[in-house]
């Protein structure tokens, strides 16, 4: 699974009291009143869903289950609400209460969501004012998983002060792995199925980078053998911000042979979104996207960290466009194709590269297609691929949650949501 997941003073409170502070009712059952949401499919291949009473609603993250369901973590003025869509793009009213699983969380925002193999969901987020990171787990039906923490919620313990949650992955054994930033250092923490720090990982369940420069985490992925890869950025003297990668063993130690003590810098030619998105492909390659020379760019590293010199131009693929473009979300197909999406001039676009890092001639026009959610204010939060090559983009259009599906050839799928 992808992929595509904040804190402050030390957490010196017990789990139960912290959960009560952040989650007054600690429930996911509160649902919007009838008529609170509305659906629109005015644009072919696009489904949008509105939260009229939550003017600031925005899709924060999304994930796709093995059977095609899509869960979207939505940040609203009331906190975090999860919604789920089926494989056809239909709003799933069987999830939570009337289709909504709302975490009663004051001033908490979601950073990531991930499906487990059994259909349950784990969410990572932060209480911005308190600087407290947290995890929440819901059952496949959208109810709090009472076996996890306190009523399905864990205020992450044992992490440094001012920790900001960034990304989340769920291992095949169900253990959640959180990537975060704390005082300009990268933190990776693993938790047991009950939500406790995993003593078999790092030091008391966590890894803390020995940074001498300012670092931050942004994305996380798991390789086939359980190796954990984190993408983010490092701010270097005279160089500014550089996209970076960290690799950890299953025991939470820096991976031997990966860069310098488990960390490496990504090609300086790639900028912008590359430090904020990353995915592990079916061959365990590390794939990121961003912008190079004002074009969509994809950079690929081999499983051990070496740049894949057989991909594009020495590991860097550019997908030219007539407008300035930047890949802010990325996904990799089973056959090695890479898809990225993000700003394309004043609009949005989706681009595809072949396994050799060339613009995909069978996708859109010269590897690029445009994306229109039907509003001037559009942003993306996730890019998901189906087993048969369909492309699903998740984002926000104005105050609506938006999903768009394209065929493997980059054409809007007019059957989506119908």
Residue 5: predicted pLDDT: 29
Are 78 and 55 spatial neighbours (Cβ–Cβ below 8 Å)?
no
Closest CA to 288 of 365, 218, 367: 218
Residue 308: predicted pLDDT: 94
Residue 374: predicted pLDDT: 81
Q: Which residue has the tokens 């009337």?
A: 98
Q: Which residue has the tokens 């810098």?
A: 265
Q: Encoding tokens for residue 1?
A: 């699974």
Q: Which residue has the tokens 């980078």?
A: 209
Backbone angles phi, psi at 167, to 5 degrees: -155, 165
d(C-alpha 283, C-alpha 263), whole Å:
20
* Helix, coil or strand: residue 410: coil
Are 406 and 383 spatial neighbours (Cβ–Cβ below 8 Å)?
no
pLDDT tens-place values along the chain, 418 residues long: 333 322 222 222 233 333 333 434 334 444 454 334 455 556 889 999 887 666 678 999 999 998 999 999 999 887 899 999 999 999 999 999 989 998 856 778 899 999 999 999 999 999 765 567 889 999 999 999 999 988 898 887 677 778 899 999 999 999 999 999 998 999 999 999 999 999 999 999 999 999 789 999 999 999 999 999 999 999 988 888 889 999 999 999 999 999 999 999 887 666 666 777 999 999 999 999 999 889 999 999 999 999 999 999 999 999 999 999 999 999 999 999 999 999 999 999 999 999 999 999 999 999 999 998 887 789 999 999 999 999 999 999 988 899 999 999 999 999 998 8
d(C-alpha 409, C-alpha 280), whole Å:
23
Q: Encoding tokens for residue 375?
A: 């509003």
Tally the C-alpha atoms within 13 A of residue 283's C-alpha that lie toward its C-beta. Answer: 13
Q: Where are the alpha helices (DSSP H) in 28-118?
A: none
Residue 30: predicted pLDDT: 45
Closest CA to 391 of 348, 339, 319: 339
Q: Encoding tokens for residue 106?
A: 């004051």
- Sign of the alpha-carbon torsion through 73, 76, 80, 82: negative
d(C-alpha 341, C-alpha 291), whole Å:
11
- Distance, CA of 44 to chain centre: 25
d(C-alpha 194, C-alpha 148), whole Å:
4
Residue 78: predicted pLDDT: 77
Q: Report in angstroms the alpha-carbon separations of 31 from 27, 314, 404.
A: 11, 51, 25
Are 142 and 95 spatial neighbours (Cβ–Cβ below 8 Å)?
yes
Q: Where are the alpha helices (DSSP H) in 11-69?
A: 15-22
């Amino acid at each position: 699974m992808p992929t595509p997941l904040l804190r402050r003073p030390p957490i010196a409170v017990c789990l139960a009291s912290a959960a009560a502070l952040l989650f007054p009712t600690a429930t996911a059952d509160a649902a919007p009143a009838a008529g609170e949401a509305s659906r629109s499919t005015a644009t072919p291949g696009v489904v949008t869903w509105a939260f009229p009473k939550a003017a600031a609603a925005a899709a924060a993250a999304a994930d796709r289950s093995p059977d095609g369901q899509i869960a979207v973590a939505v940040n609203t003025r009331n906190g975090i609400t999860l919604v789920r869509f089926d494989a056809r793009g239909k709003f799933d009213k069987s999830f939570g209460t009337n289709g909504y699983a709302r975490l009663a969380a004051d001033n908490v925002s979601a950073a990531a969501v991930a499906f487990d193999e059994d259909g349950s969901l784990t969410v990572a987020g932060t209480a911005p004012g308190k600087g407290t990171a947290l995890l929440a787990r819901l059952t496949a039906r959208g109810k709090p998983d009472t076996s996890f923490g306190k009523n399905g919620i864990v205020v992450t313990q044992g992490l440094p002060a001012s920790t900001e949650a960034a990304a989340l992955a769920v291992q095949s054994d169900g253990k959640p792995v959180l990537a975060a930033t704390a005082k300009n250092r990268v933190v990776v923490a693993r938790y047991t199925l009950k939500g406790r720090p995993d003593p078999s990982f790092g030091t008391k369940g966590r890894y803390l980078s020995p940074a001498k420069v300012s670092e931050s985490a942004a994305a996380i992925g798991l390789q086939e053998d359980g190796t954990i890869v984190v993408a983010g950025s490092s701010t270097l003297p005279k160089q500014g911000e550089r996209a970076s990668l960290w690799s950890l063993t299953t025991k939470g130690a820096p991976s031997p042979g990966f860069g310098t003590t488990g960390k490496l810098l990504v090609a300086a030619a790639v900028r912008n979104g590359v430090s904020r998105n990353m995915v592990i492909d079916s061959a365990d390659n590390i794939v990121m996207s961003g912008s190079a020379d004002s074009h969509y760019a994809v950079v690929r590293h081999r499983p051990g960290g070496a740049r894949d010199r057989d991909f594009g131009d020495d590991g860097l693929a550019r997908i030219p466009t007539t407008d300035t473009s930047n890949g802010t979300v990325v996904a990799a197909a089973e056959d090695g194709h890479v898809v990225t999406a993000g700003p394309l001039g004043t609009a949005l676009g989706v681009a595809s590269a072949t396994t050799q890092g060339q613009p995909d001639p069978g996708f859109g026009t010269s590897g690029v297609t445009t994306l229109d959610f039907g509003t001037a204010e559009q942003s993306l939060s996730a890019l998901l691929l189906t087993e048969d090559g369909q492309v699903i983009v998740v984002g926000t259009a104005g105050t609506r949650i938006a999903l768009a599906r394209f065929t493997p050839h980059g054409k809007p799928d007019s059957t989506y949501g119908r």
